């Protein structure tokens, strides 16, 4: 269980809580190091969703019968849990979405279309995920707004001086990810929010990689929009959330039309519900939201501080272990980093490497990580990426390093 033995940091969870980790892959123990793509699910999350389907399955917010009331209670309770988890004062400032991608699209299609034009600029960090680039390009096609990337250094550090020098009242929005999925860089979102607000710009933070490792406090960090995905935080796929500052949310036009988001409908016209319902048309992913709530319970039970300490120690261990592999170059060496190890290995394409490592039971990701502009900036077509989570161990990293040496032998 929890704690450190000498220099060895043990996971602050029982690995048996994650049934999937017990399996063997190609005859080897599984070293699951693809957590930035999606995390594995603890039994409590899986069981919360099974329980809902076995006992409470009913639609929310519409039925007066007991099952519908139980489903609604569990659904609404998850919103309160998420609001508490990210420091939002009002649970109604949290909207359920399909994931982080839909959360950003919601901002772009509602606030973006209503507030952007040819006289405005959006500044997006040059390390953004496609999910925080493409929605804005789609808005730019319709509004004429200009999108400018905020430069990133070779080490993967955002150029804050450039940002300071380029912020003026023409900037309507600054978009930045809290933790870079491709490199691990942790961006100073509180500082960026202060700078953006000083010129009247809003800040959108992509928290996809941060929720399970170092979640924002939306009030202390003074964020306007915070986008999240449950599945990267031990929850299910197909559900995520968007926090919107209440003053902005109040006046935001609806995103999609349908049931639940209305107050009255007639052929003469429709009046809309208050947030959050105004933004949640149709039957939501009820089981997913309940599972998301269980994932937040899991994170709260373990404690973000303990998770952070463990992952930090693994990052340190992994950084020195990988640095010792001849021909390996770590990509992303920012001083403030989360437990993501991106690298290239001389003479082996990351895709080939991914396949070879899989043969040794090591699951990593290889590719552009949905950050093609960042890869271009770094001058690499792709990287291999090992991303760590609460259940990873030094043994996982040792297995990765062993497999890397084996891959080098194959390609020698
Ligand atoms: N933003 C970042 C930083 C990500 O890493 C990801 C997923 O990899 C996303 C956004 C998109 O998340 P989702 O696919 O869950 O919508």
Catalytic residue, candidates 100, 180, 370, 371: 370
Asked if residue 187 has its Cβ within 6 Å of ligand 1, the reply is no
Q: Which atom of ligand 1 is nearest to the CA of 101?
A: 16
The b-or-e profile of 255-291 (16+ CB within 10 A means b, else e) is beeeebbbeeeeeeeeebbebbbbbbbeebbbbbbbb
Asked if residue 366 has its Cβ within 6 Å of ligand 1, the reply is no
Q: Which atom of ligand 1 is nearest to the CA of 180?
A: 3
**Residues 135 and 29 occupy one common structural domain:** no
Give, in order, the Cα–Cα distances in Å from 122 to each of 49, 55, 125, 159, 379: 39, 47, 10, 16, 25
φ/ψ of residue 254, rounded to 5? -65, 160
Q: What span, in angstroms and rounded, lies between the C-alpha atoms of 112 and 143?
A: 9
Domain boundary among 266, 301, 336: 301
Residue 5 within any structural domain of the chain: no
Ligand 1 centroid from CA 380, angstroms: 21
| CATH number of the domain encompassing residue 307 | 3.90.1150.10
Residue 6 within any structural domain of the chain: no
Give Cβ neighbours of residue 267 (< 8 Å, ≥ 6 apart): none
**Residues 156 and 257 occupy one common structural domain:** yes
Ligand 1 centroid from CA 100, angstroms: 6
Ligand 1 centroid from CA 410, angstroms: 33
**Residues 294 and 340 occupy one common structural domain:** no
Q: Which atom of ligand 1 is nearest to the CA of 131?
A: 10
**Residues 62 and 123 occupy one common structural domain:** yes
Q: Which atom of ligand 1 is nearest to the CA of 370?
A: 8
Q: What span, in angstroms and rounded, lies between the C-alpha atoms of 281 and 258?
A: 5
Residue 99 within any structural domain of the chain: yes
Residue whose CA is at the smallest distance from ligand 1 atom 8: 37
Residue 125, beta-bridge partner list: 150
Q: What span, in angstroms and rounded, lies between the C-alpha atoms of 206 and 103?
A: 9
φ/ψ of residue 395, rounded to 5? -60, -35
Q: What span, in angstroms and rounded, lies between the C-alpha atoms of 343 and 200?
A: 39
Asked if residue 403 has its Cβ within 6 Å of ligand 1, the reply is no
User: How far is C-alpha 120 from the chain's CA centre?
Assistant: 27
pLDDT at residue 1 in the model: 39
pLDDT at residue 353 in the model: 97
pLDDT at residue 379 in the model: 96
Residue 221 within any structural domain of the chain: yes
Question: Which of 155, 173, 167, 88 is closest to 331 using CA atoms?
Answer: 155
Question: Which of 220, 203, 163, 232 is closest to 370 using CA atoms?
Answer: 232
In the chain the first and final C-alpha atoms are separated, in Å, by 40
Residue whose CA is at the smallest distance from ligand 1 atom 2: 208
Residue 211 within any structural domain of the chain: yes
Return the structure tokens found at 35.
Answer: 């957590």
Q: What span, in angstroms and rounded, lies between the C-alpha atoms of 61 and 76?
A: 9
**Residues 117 and 146 occupy one common structural domain:** yes
Residue whose CA is at the smallest distance from ligand 1 atom 4: 208
Q: Which helix (H) or strand (E) holds 387?
A: strand 383-387
370 part of the active site: yes
| pTM summary value | 0.97
Into how many domains does the chain fold? 2
Question: Which of 87, 93, 59 is closest to 75 using CA atoms?
Answer: 59
Asked if residue 30 has its Cβ within 6 Å of ligand 1, the reply is no
Q: What span, in angstroms and rounded, lies between the C-alpha atoms of 254 and 90?
A: 19
Q: Is 8 left (phi over 0), alpha (psi -120 to 50) or beta?
A: beta
**Residues 229 and 92 occupy one common structural domain:** yes
Residue 4 within any structural domain of the chain: no
**Residues 133 and 214 occupy one common structural domain:** yes
**Residues 208 and 152 occupy one common structural domain:** yes
Ligand 1 centroid from CA 242, angstroms: 13
Range of the domain at 76: 46-301
| CATH number of the domain encompassing residue 138 | 3.40.640.10
Return the structure tokens found at 282.
Answer: 């149709």
Question: Which of 255, 145, 125, 251 is closest to 195 using CA atoms?
Answer: 125
**Residues 29 and 53 occupy one common structural domain:** no
Ligand 1 centroid from CA 233, angstroms: 11
Ligand 1 centroid from CA 105, angstroms: 12
Judging by DSSP bridges, how do beta strands 202-206 and 171-177 pair with one another?
A: parallel
**Residues 124 and 37 occupy one common structural domain:** no
- Residue pointed to by tokens 């937040």: 296
Asked if residue 209 has its Cβ within 6 Å of ligand 1, the reply is yes
Q: What span, in angstroms and rounded, lies between the C-alpha atoms of 41 and 31?
A: 15
Residue 90 within any structural domain of the chain: yes
Residue 22 within any structural domain of the chain: yes
Count of other CB atoms within 10 angstroms of residue 31: 25
Asked if residue 208 has its Cβ within 6 Å of ligand 1, the reply is yes
**Residues 154 and 23 occupy one common structural domain:** no
Domain boundary among 301, 322, 343: 301
pLDDT at residue 3 in the model: 44
Count of other CB atoms within 10 angstroms of residue 217: 14
Count of other CB atoms within 10 angstroms of residue 98: 18
pLDDT at residue 63 in the model: 80
Per-residue pLDDT of the chain (412 residues; tens, 9 = 90+): 344 444 678 999 999 999 999 999 999 999 999 999 999 999 999 999 999 999 999 999 878 999 999 999 999 999 999 999 999 999 999 999 999 999 999 999 999 999 999 999 999 999 999 999 999 999 999 999 999 999 999 999 999 999 999 999 999 999 999 999 999 999 999 999 999 999 999 999 999 999 999 999 999 999 999 999 999 999 999 999 999 999 999 999 999 999 999 999 999 999 999 999 999 999 999 999 999 999 999 999 999 999 999 999 999 999 999 999 999 999 999 999 999 999 999 999 999 999 999 999 999 999 999 999 999 999 999 999 999 999 999 999 999 999 999 999 998 8
**Residues 142 and 73 occupy one common structural domain:** yes
Q: What span, in angstroms and rounded, lies between the C-alpha atoms of 203 and 379?
A: 29
Q: What span, in angstroms and rounded, lies between the C-alpha atoms of 280 and 305?
A: 33
Domain boundary among 283, 301, 319: 301
């Amino acid at each position: 269980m929890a704690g450190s033995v000498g220099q060895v940091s043990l996971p602050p969870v029982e690995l048996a809580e994650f049934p999937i980790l017990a399996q063997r892959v190609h005859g080897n123990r599984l070293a699951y190091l693809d957590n930035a793509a999606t995390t594995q699910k603890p039994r409590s999350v899986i069981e919360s969703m099974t329980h809902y389907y076995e006992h409470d399955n009913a639609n929310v917010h519409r039925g007066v019968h007991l099952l519908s009331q139980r489903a609604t209670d569990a659904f609404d309770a998850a919103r309160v849990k998420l609001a508490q988890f990210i420091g939002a004062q009002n649970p109604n400032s949290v909207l359920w979405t399909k994931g982080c991608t839909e959360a950003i699209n919601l901002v772009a299609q509602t606030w973006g279309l209503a507030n952007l034009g040819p006289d405005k600029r959006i500044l997006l960090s040059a390390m953004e995920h496609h999910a925080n680039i493409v929605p804005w390009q789609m808005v730019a096609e319709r509004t004429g707004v200009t999108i400018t990337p905020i430069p990133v250094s070779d080490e993967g550090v955002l150029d804050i001086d450039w940002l300071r020098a380029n912020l003026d009242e023409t900037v309507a929005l600054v978009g930045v990810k809290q933790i870079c999925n491709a490199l691990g860089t942790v961006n100073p979102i509180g500082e960026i929010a202060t700078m953006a607000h000083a010129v009247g710009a809003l800040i959108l933070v992509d928290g996809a990689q941060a929720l399970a490792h170092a979640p924002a406090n939306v009030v202390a960090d003074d964020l306007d929009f915070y986008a999240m995905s449950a599945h990267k935080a031990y929850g299910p796929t197909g559900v995520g959330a968007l926090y919107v500052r209440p003053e902005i949310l109040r006046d935001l036009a609806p995103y999609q039309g349908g049931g639940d988001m209305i107050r009255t409908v007639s052929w003469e016209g429709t009046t809309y519900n208050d947030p959050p319902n105004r933004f949640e048309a149709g039957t939501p992913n009820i089981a997913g939201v309940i599972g998301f709530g269980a994932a937040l319970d899991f994170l709260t039970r373990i404690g973000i501080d303990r998770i952070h300490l463990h992952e930090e120690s693994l990052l340190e261990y992994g950084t020195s272990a990988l640095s010792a592999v001849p021909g390996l170059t770590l990509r992303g060496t920012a001083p403030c980093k989360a437990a993501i190890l991106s690298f290239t290995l001389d003479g082996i394409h990351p895709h080939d490497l991914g396949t070879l490592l899989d043969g040794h039971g090591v699951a990593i990701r290889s590719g552009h990580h949905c950050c093609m502009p960042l890869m271009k900036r770094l001058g690499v077509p792709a990287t291999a990426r090992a991303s760590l989570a609460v259940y990873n161990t030094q043994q996982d990293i040792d297995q990765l390093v062993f497999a890397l040496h084996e891959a080098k032998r194959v390609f020698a």
